[in-house]
Amino acid sequence: MKRSFVLCSMAVLSFSLIFLGYATETAREVASVDEVPIRFAVQGGGDPALVFVHCWCCDRNYWRNQVPYFVERHKVVTIDLAGHGESGMGRDEWTVAMFAADVAAVVEALDLNRVILIGHSMGGPVIMETAKLIPGRVIGLVGVDTYQDFEREFSEVQKKQFITGFRMDFPGTVKGFVKMMFPAGADTHLVSTISADMASAPPEVGIGAMESLLGFKPVETLKDVHAPVRCINSDMFPTNVEANAKYAESFDVKYMNGRGHFVMLEDPDTFNMLLAETIAELTGE
């Protein structure tokens, strides 16, 4: 009886250690092009590598439901962009181009030669810019509730009006902004947790990044991107497939019905299944 108990306990401990090996990350660090330290985590093995890039005012923890799912078949890299999570500050301008340099620095430091870049929201433009910096390494881009319309541009008046609220009351405006990204009936705890977390971001980072994001021109960037582009988007916001297909080397979208902006957190099982399908399509497996 005692021997059986010991064996059972050892089995539970072994399983726990394996699980923790996936769930617990050991952060590493690399200097970006401007010497700002960029923190990232690498887990698992397998080709191609999956590089996950978070949203505006978020961090790599937002991919916590994806790492355990994909780590058995792929090398999984999660990154904190400069000014986010555990990465450094010390930057004068918070732009999409500089965030892309952060991602490129990690990819080059790890010497990843076959990569799928996955970016949520602002992470979409960031990975698009990253693909320009590391030509030949990227076999596909996957936008997560982003790339709704490559042709959309904002006037200077619209940009100014939008940014004004963040300048006047950054935490309050962020909370209101984030809550609008969820459909009726969304998990209230998830909504409040995300909105509070994002509202705690450094205002100078959030405002600078938003200004850069509002001025981002995907049509121009895509001229130098030679990889297929895919999306996993909420049906809460329409995606202009016809327009997007004119500029991307190859474009397609999968929808998640009844979800908001944070699809990978709202319904991780469905999201992971769709991402796995997308990866298989990009690799031809």
Do residues 176 and 153 lie in contact, with contact meaning Cβ atoms separated by under 8 Å?
no
163-193 tens-digit pLDDT: 999 999 999 999 999 999 999 999 999 999 9
What share of the chain has pLDDT > 70, as a percent? Answer: 91
The answer on pLDDT for 63 being more than 90 is yes
- Overall average pLDDT of the 113-139 stretch: 97
How many angstroms separate the CA atoms of 157 and 162, rounded? 9
Across the chain, what does the average pLDDT equal?
A: 91
> Is residue 238 scored above 60 in pLDDT?
yes
At position 168, the amino acid (one-letter code) is M
pTM of the model: 0.90
pLDDT at 9: 37
- Reported as a pLDDT band with limits 50, 70 and 90, residue 25 is low
To the nearest 10 degrees (0 to 180), the angle between helices 170-179 and 188-199 is 150
Residue 233 has pLDDT above 70, yes or no: yes
What integer pLDDT is reported at residue 14 of this predicted model? 36
Map out the domains of the chain as residue ranges: 2-283
Tens digit of pLDDT for each residue in 207-229?
A: 999 999 999 999 999 999 999 99
Range in 12-16, 79-83, 248-252, 273-277 with the lowest mean pLDDT: 12-16
Q: Is 264 exposed, middle or buried (0-12, 13-18, 19+ CB in 10 A)?
A: buried
2-283 CATH:
3.40.50.1820
